[in-house]
């Protein structure tokens, strides 16, 4: 064999190898799952008895499909939109409504359980009539004075939350605590009432656990029956 022929064969072989490698890379890129942002939830810190709204943004041709709950797994299916010819996928906002769940740890799978596009854990807290705010330093409790009520607390963030009395979907009272110490050396308490039910709301400052349970500073805000009062306290704590 001539030297020139040998070089041509070697060149062709290298070109084929490069083409195969490029084809493999392109195929792999197409096979990547659609891009996504983390799931958003409302309420942000759900508790047992809360209806939950879950949303995300996906590059997809689909729409929000059905919801399946199988033990600790919540499968948020994507309904496909059949279009011919199929256009390029675009970023779409999808939302699913989740019914109230028992307290516990769940895994959310977007897409399907066997081939999820996005996976995220979800903790559903036990329903309680007490909020622990500012890393648990402030304990907020509500005593409802009307028969048949069952006060329950739902935290929305580390600094605020709300209470329900009769229906877990009906907010009766919201509470927020703001660090006002840079302004007047006090923590600020904001209580917004959406009810005329008689109630007593008590805020206790555990001072990070440094006080004994029987001498922690506390203050009670009272709303008499058939009245509606909001409270703004910028100086007690």
* Domain end (from 124, 142, 173): 124
For 61-71, the pLDDT digits (tens) are 778 888 999 99
In a domain? residue 1? no
Whether residues 90 and 52 share a domain: the answer is yes
Count of structural domains within the chain: 2
Instruction: Answer whether 0.75 is exceeded by the pTM.
Output: no
In a domain? residue 18? no
In this structure, the number of other CB atoms found within 10 A of the CB of residue 21 comes to: 10
Whether residues 77 and 170 share a domain: the answer is no
Whether residues 135 and 226 share a domain: the answer is yes
For 181-209, the pLDDT digits (tens) are 999 999 999 999 998 888 889 999 988 76
Coarse DSSP helix, strand, coil percentages of the chain, rounded to the nearest 5 percent? 15, 45, 40
Give how far Cα 151 sits from Cα of 52, 159, 173, 194, 218, Å: 19, 19, 10, 14, 20
Whether residues 110 and 136 share a domain: the answer is no
In the 8-state DSSP scheme, what is residue 234?
Answer: S
* Domain end (from 108, 124, 140): 124
Helix (H) or strand (E) holding 232, with range, is: strand 231-233
In a domain? residue 6? no
For 147-160, the pLDDT digits (tens) are 667 788 888 999 99
């Amino acid at each position: 064999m001539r030297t020139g022929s040998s070089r041509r064969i070697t060149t062709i072989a290298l070109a084929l190898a490069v083409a195969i490698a490029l084809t493999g890379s392109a195929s792999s890129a197409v096979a990547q799952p659609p891009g996504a942002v983390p799931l958003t939830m409302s309420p942000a810190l759900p508790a047992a008895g809360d209806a939950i709204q879950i949303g995300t943004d996906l590059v997809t041709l689909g729409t929000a499909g059905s919801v399946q709950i199988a033990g600790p797994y919540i499968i948020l299916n994507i309904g496909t939109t059949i279009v011919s010819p199929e256009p390029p996928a675009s970023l779409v906002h999808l939302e699913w409504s989740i019914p109230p769940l028992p307290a516990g740890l769940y895994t959310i799978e977007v897409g399907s359980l066997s081939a999820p596009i996005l996976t995220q854990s979800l903790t559903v807290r036990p329903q309680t009539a007490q909020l622990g705010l500012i890393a648990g330093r402030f304990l907020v409790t509500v005593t409802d004075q009307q028969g048949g009520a069952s006060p329950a607390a739902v935290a929305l963030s580390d600094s605020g939350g709300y209470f329900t009395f009769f229906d877990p979907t009906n907010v009766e009272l919201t509470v927020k605590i703001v660090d006002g110490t840079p302004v007047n050396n006090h923590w600020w308490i904001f209580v917004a009432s959406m009810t005329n039910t008689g109630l007593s709301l008590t805020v206790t400052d555990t001072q990070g656990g440094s006080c004994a349970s029987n001498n922690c500073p506390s203050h009670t805000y009272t709303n008499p029956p058939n009245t509606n009062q909001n409270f703004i306290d910028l100086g007690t704590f």
